[in-house]
Structure 1
Amino acid sequence: MHDPPVTERREVVEEMHGEEIRDPYRWLEDDNEGVHEWVERQNEYADRVLGSDARDQLAPRLETRAAVPEYGVVTPRERGYFQTIEAADEDHAKLCVRSDLDAAPTVLADPNEWPDGESLDWYTPSPDGSLVAYGRAEGGEEQYDVTVLDAETGETVEVLRDCGRAGPEGFAWSDENFYYVTSGSADEGTQLEKQIRYHELDAGESRAVDDPVLTDDVGEHVWPSLGYTDDTLVVAFHAGWTHSDVYRWESDGPAPADGELVRLVADTDASFRPNVADGTVYMLTDYEAPRSRVVACDATATETDPDDLAELVPESDETLTYLVVAGDSLVVQSQRDARSSLSVYDRDGDHRGEVDLPEDTAVGRGDLTGDPEAPEFCFRAQTFDRPPWVAHGRTDTGETTTISERDPESDLDLVVEQRFFESADGTEVPAFVVHRDGVERDGDNPTVLYGYGGFRINLTPSYDRFRVPFLEDGGVYVQANLRGGAEYGEDWHRQGMRENKQNVFDDFYAVAEGLVDADYTRPERLAAMGRSNGGLLVGAAVTQRPDLFGAASCGVPLLDMLRFHEFLLGESWTVEYGSPEDPEAFEYLRAYSPYNNVEERAYPAVYFETAAGDTRVHPGHARKMTARMQAANTGEEPILLRTRTETGHGVGKPTSMTVSEQLDRWAFLYDQLDVSET
């Protein structure tokens, strides 16, 4: 029997839409000395429980697998090829450039030489590659300073301080100057306050692109993405993950003087993701195409009817997910049953060919790049049994060459199978089932079921070096493609959002029950795993179906769905979840909100993880849920919480911290699922 720290109840009772809501642990939402002391006691308790033989045995195996090189995707430009590279003995990836693909890389920025806790999280080179901008943050907080470098000399050209949640999608070069999106700070609770600015490097100053459309027309809870072509700034305002408004900046020149934002595409309830080049706006859209298609218009157009946009790549039975411009071509990424393919078209939409990829390959959304000025593109791909590799392709010759790759850390012979499971409403839900060759379906294999189910995030084949020991030791890893993602297009997404969110949970249970029925495992040896929105999934699983799981790993989660909109980026997620302020949304949020559905009973073992510096999901979710479950649990299994400092939601972690996190996570699972080292 584990004895967790006792948490004081400080009852808060409020009425929401006629219902009395009790919140005895609201005080854990604060950031004060009392909360810090409580967090320290919980960390000490987690240390005691996790300090097992399994952890000692796993430590050298995970540390060895951490000591390998990591390669980011290459971004091609006229003056060089940019890439992040992390050596086997380093904690952070360096930003590098090489003059050609065969040349040795030159280091432009090395976070390993910066103060502890600082990271380089993104970069974007100028159109010709003479300059490169990157985002530097502290403690994984995603609050950036933006540094501009001369890519030839490595010298710092300029540093813009305190740009908030700046990032590559909100950055657009205009010759040697640039536009960028800046936000308020997490500390001041102003992350959702955004502004588009124009920065002149020679003058060393930024000016706001002030226009009432930023708040009055498109609403304040949107995220702008930027593109620039032929003296025209193109802005897409994304309201959540289902709707976009596309505008252009109309003025006499590139600087924001005496201009205004003019709607480029007429308003319609659809998503548009622009990519601009040579005066044309290419857009991936789900307008009249749930699995998406590619359309285009002139960058100087005004209020173009969506029906009048030129269709370049029509909708098909594959789901289009991303596109880049490469010289006179478009490289389009698509997915069939969560597996990636890459197709090349000319700019008029004529099909030129396919990129040869191995079976069960995934190319991430941020892992495809192109040079609009040259017939070159690059991608980073991976499979369940092959570590990520980086390749360079040419649209003119069709040739593809691997640039960077490392050998697998194990000679494990894996079996990868995609199975389909029937959900509560009859929907067929796919899942990848991965295990070593020779594992028998005897109903007793330790199994980890991973899911997400939201925000159009697709779960595709992935290589995880820290997962390998579990597979070596006879474990079964299952990755479920739940509704809420976009594996089968926007319809699949909408079937798992707002009032349909319960479908996501039911899909998860269907896969879990199917694994038991197929004799892969039994509930006592089955663990649920998820992070962020996937942490919400795990929280729902242990409160709705505690009988179905023997353990649960729940990272940086949303758990109090009646108050999520009160903190950090939460208000922007009401598009996906609905708002607790809305009486209709309150009903379904209240029905599944994990924190509000904890009751006195025996629960499976749960390992919660959160981060003090998380600027997306407030750590109060995990704190409150831990306290409530510890108090209500009548069983003997532990409810643990690990809180880490000097890190955030997941970006910018040094490798040493990643090893520590993975070690705790897998030690917990080994103990609870009774996994033995082979």
Structure 2
Amino acid sequence: MSDPPETDRREVVEEVHGEEIRDPYRWLEEDTEEVRAWVERQNDYADDHLRGAVRDALEPRFEARAEVQSYGVVTPCERGYFQTVEAADEDHPKLCFRPELDAEPTVLADPNEWPETDSLDWFVPSSDGALVAYGRAAGGEEQYDVTILDAETGETVGVVRDCGRTNPESVAWTEEGFYYVTTGSADEGAQLEKQIRYHELGAGESAAADDPVLTDDVGEHVWPQLGYTDGTLVVAYHRGWTHSDVYRWECDGRSPANGELVELVADADASFRFALADGTAYFRTDYDAPHSRVLACDVDADAADPDDLAEVVPEREGTLTDVAVAGDSLVVHRQRDAASSLSVYDRTGGKRRDVALPEYAAVGRGDLTGHPDAPEFYFRAQTFDRPPWVARGRTDAEETTVVSERGPESNGDSESPFDSDLDLVVEQQFFESADGTEVPAFVVHREGVERDGDNPTVLYGYGGFRITLTPRYDRFRVPFLEDGGVYVQANLRGGAEYGEEWHRAGMRERKQNVFDDFYAVAEGLIEREYTRPERLAAMGRSNGGLLVGAAITQRPDLFGAASCGVPLLDMLRFHEFLLGESWTTEYGSPDDPDDFRYLREYSPYHNVSEREYPAVYFETAAGDTRVHPGHARKMTARMQAANTGEKPVLLRTETEAGHGVGKPTSMVVAEQLDRWAFLYDQLGVPTESNASDETNVTGESNASDESKGTE
């Protein structure tokens, strides 16, 4: 293959906290015609490596797996049920409503009729279900217009344009409208500027700026959660992932002008996330409970010391991650060793029963729903070998019933809802990190794979922001497993696998623990003879992309390839762009001299040196409004210049996509094809086109130029 495109070095030299910092590719942070031309050349270079026999062999298998049904969790309301449904031949899920669970659904909004890059990313029904608001964005940019529909007729009641990063947690319905959070635009670099506004129904189509402001005293590091009950607005100001201040706003249910902000939970250095029902706030909190518990108080109570709140569900083994109100009960979701369990309690904390789930099943964030007026709840679950299904449970009965699951019609003559007859082995194993901490990881492969030290293996990690990597079905991972690959998902510190202590052990000055955990799993897989470095790939996205960037600069000897998506890589300037300033609570701030020292020590961009690197495939998106694409651009340029080996360093930039939200299925298929074609080639995974090629199957590079650049 040809050499990578040349990139001009334009040295910027700064003294930061007494250290000279050189940045030769800062010009790639800009959005100019010159940068866009550079991105186009990099895309062409990536195409030269990725478009070939391996990708061609995978394409029909991936396209077949794209044509399947998918369902969102059911959201119950007084008047019926809302759910998103994507048919096998569609690019986007539709928003549907049913007055009864067994009734034929009415399509309220169909993004498949919109421009291809527009998506419906979330919805929030009114308290009685008569109306529903949904967020529409273009190009994956997560900058929303909010549309209000009549659930019975599907007619548009109103549209509020230019709301910014509004999300479902920041919308609270009243009888006459809704409170919501707006932000400034990504184009103006104002996403951290937030206001709480009120929209009264009847305005037709209007701009968010036309709605009255309840308060703009929110703060850059704060993300509000809103809820409304019995004439009271409850507001939680979440500062990062470790601190919440909770207030109530007495209002008349219409105008925000008639109210006063009153502290509800005071002086608590802990996280408090709430669910409201019948004038009571149920708090999921890690206050004096690192694995979390449920506390409660009346929303009209005086400011409460957290010690005075009533304990409803105590801390137990496993981390409490969600709670839903269902009739007179609470349904509690816990994670133990990264797998899910569900339990039903009455509202005073008496345990009623556990809900049966398969081994190593996971209920995702936002995938547990209920309603205060009905003794039913819904959840969406999945395992490594079973695609997501939606089930209905009752608080007064033992059994649960599957209400939505992929049907056999998506698989031709098959009578199975799965897209493969693969018999998978799923094990949870533990690996000792550098400081002696036991780190769990799920190891997944097909039956019959031998530990001969030579299996192609992909190691996936994240490690941050209290996010737990739970078992997840991935239809585009199936071919890799069918072809003898081993997939490993590591549960690193920085997540919430074992509560807040596990999170804090991987944040700020302790971030190196996350990387060491990842290396411990990689080394353990080699020691246990699953694979060898040449056939081991590191994979991660976003904060997980930072993990991969650290891995290839700190331990390039440990990996033969790396897939690094929408990553943070310049940890001395991340806070200058988009949402970066809000992440200083997790990473620390480069403006602080103490934080700067440890950030500089591991910042991947600043630790690239002349040496041989594994093959790397960077992915970013021009419309990413979370992580700036300049991270991946600069890192690509620096690594291409410094790499003394023959393995390629590639960059793919999607020009009409964002961080990952709302992508059409057709775009997802193309993205996954490129990613897995890269991994197949670099790890030597046999396909129909190369199974007879002995050198490729063993993971060694072929002599021909064609094989050198593909992953």
Contact 1:233 1:254 in 2 (8 A): no
Give the alignment of 1:28-427 within 5 angstroms: 28-203=28-203, 207-211=211-215, 214-215=217-218, 219-251=219-251, 253-406=253-406, 407-427=417-437
Which residue number in structure 1 is paired with residue 475 of structure 2?
465
Instruction: Give secondary structure in 2 for the equivalent of 1:661.
Output: helix
**How far did 1:10 drift?**
0.5
Alignment equivalent of 1:525, drawn from 530, 535, 547: 535
Which residue number in structure 2 is paired with residue 455 of structure 1?
465
**How far did 1:130 drift?**
0.6
Which residue number in structure 2 is paired with residue 536 of structure 1?
546
**How far did 1:198 drift?**
1.0
**How far did 1:337 drift?**
0.3
**How far did 1:203 drift?**
4.9
Contact 1:75 1:370 in 2 (8 A): yes
Contact 1:136 1:146 in 2 (8 A): yes
1:554 paired to 2:564: yes
Which residue number in structure 1 is paired with residue 522 of structure 2?
512
Which residue number in structure 1 is paired with residue 682 of structure 2?
672
**How far did 1:100 drift?**
1.2
**How far did 1:250 drift?**
2.5
Contact 2:98 2:105 in 1 (8 A): yes
Q: Which moved more, 1:243-252 or 1:10-19?
A: 243-252
**How far did 1:395 drift?**
1.1
Aligned partners of 1:65 and 1:328: how far apart in 2?
41
Aligned partners of 1:278 and 1:448: how far apart in 2?
48
Counterpart code for 2:124: T
Which residue number in structure 2 is paired with residue 633 of structure 1?
643
Describe the shift of the 1:61–1:37 C-alpha distance in structure 2 as closer, same or farther (beyond 3 A). Answer: same
**How far did 1:242 drift?**
0.5
**How far did 1:17 drift?**
0.1
**How far did 1:68 drift?**
0.5
**How far did 1:104 drift?**
1.3
Which residue number in structure 1 is paired with residue 410 of structure 2?
none
**How far did 1:531 drift?**
0.1
Which residue number in structure 2 is paired with residue 495 of structure 1?
505
Counterpart code for 2:212: A
Q: Deviations over 1:207-261 (max 9, x none)?
A: 434447x34xxx3320001111110000011110011111111345552124221
- Provide the alpha-carbon RMSD of the alignment: 1.1
Contact 1:339 1:360 in 2 (8 A): yes
Counterpart code for 2:310: A
1:582 paired to 2:592: yes
Aligned partners of 2:277 and 2:176: how far apart in 1?
16
Aligned partners of 1:649 and 1:84: how far apart in 2?
21
1:434 paired to 2:438: no
1:648 paired to 2:646: no
Instruction: Give secondary structure in 1 for the equivalent of 2:164.
Output: coil
Aligned partners of 1:25 and 1:284: how far apart in 2?
45
Which residue number in structure 2 is paired with residue 599 of structure 1?
609
Percent of pairs with identical residues: 79
1:479 paired to 2:489: yes
Give the alignment of 1:14-29 within 5 angstroms: 14-29=14-29
Instruction: Give secondary structure in 1 for the equivalent of 2:661.
Output: coil
Aligned partners of 2:345 and 2:639: how far apart in 1?
54
Which residue number in structure 1 is paired with residue 632 of structure 2?
622
Contact 1:285 1:293 in 2 (8 A): yes
Aligned partners of 1:394 and 1:645: how far apart in 2?
46
Instruction: Give secondary structure in 1 for the equivalent of 2:82.
Output: strand
Counterpart code for 2:314: P
Counterpart code for 1:654: P
Instruction: Give secondary structure in 2 for the equivalent of 1:162.
Output: strand
Contact 1:73 1:379 in 2 (8 A): yes
Counterpart code for 1:257: A
**How far did 1:2 drift?**
4.8
Instruction: Give secondary structure in 1 for the equivalent of 2:374.
Output: coil
Q: Deviations over 1:145-167 (max 9, x none)?
A: 00000000000000000000011
Describe the shift of the 1:47–1:252 C-alpha distance in structure 2 as closer, same or farther (beyond 3 A). Answer: closer
Q: Deviations over 1:503-524 (max 9, x none)?
A: 0000000000000000000000
Contact 1:451 1:480 in 2 (8 A): yes
Contact 1:2 1:637 in 2 (8 A): no
Q: Which moved more, 1:350-359 or 1:498-507?
A: 350-359
**Structure 1 unaligned regions, length at least 5:** none
Q: Deviations over 1:618-645 (max 9, x none)?
A: 0000000000000000000000000001
Which residue number in structure 2 is paired with residue 608 of structure 1?
618
Corresponding residue pairs, total: 674
Contact 1:232 1:254 in 2 (8 A): no
Q: Which moved more, 1:120-129 or 1:507-516?
A: 120-129
Q: Which moved more, 1:167-176 or 1:156-165?
A: 167-176
Alignment equivalent of 2:671, drawn from 661, 664, 673: 661
Describe the shift of the 1:254–1:310 C-alpha distance in structure 2 as closer, same or farther (beyond 3 A). Answer: farther
**How far did 1:51 drift?**
1.5
Aligned partners of 1:635 and 1:47: how far apart in 2?
20
Counterpart code for 1:21: I
Instruction: Give secondary structure in 2 for the equivalent of 1:264.
Output: strand
Which residue number in structure 2 is paired with residue 564 of structure 1?
574
**How far did 1:267 drift?**
1.6
Counterpart code for 1:634: T
Q: Deviations over 1:255-297 (max 9, x none)?
A: 2124221110012110000111110000000000000000000
Instruction: Give secondary structure in 2 for the equivalent of 1:161.
Output: strand
Aligned partners of 1:253 and 1:544: how far apart in 2?
56
**Structure 2 unaligned regions, length at least 5:** 407-416, 689-711
Counterpart code for 1:122: W
Describe the shift of the 1:616–1:146 C-alpha distance in structure 2 as closer, same or farther (beyond 3 A). Answer: same
Aligned partners of 1:94 and 1:6: how far apart in 2?
45
Which residue number in structure 1 is paired with residue 691 of structure 2?
none
Contact 2:425 2:447 in 1 (8 A): yes
Q: Deviations over 1:606-663 (max 9, x none)?
A: 0000000000000000000000000000000000000001110000000000000000
Instruction: Give secondary structure in 2 for the equivalent of 1:381.
Output: strand
Instruction: Give secondary structure in 2 for the equivalent of 1:31.
Output: coil
Q: Which moved more, 1:196-205 or 1:110-119?
A: 196-205
Aligned partners of 1:386 and 1:116: how far apart in 2?
29
**How far did 1:135 drift?**
0.2
- TM score, norm. by length of structure 2: 0.94
Aligned partners of 1:502 and 1:133: how far apart in 2?
42
Contact 1:149 1:157 in 2 (8 A): yes
**How far did 1:365 drift?**
1.2
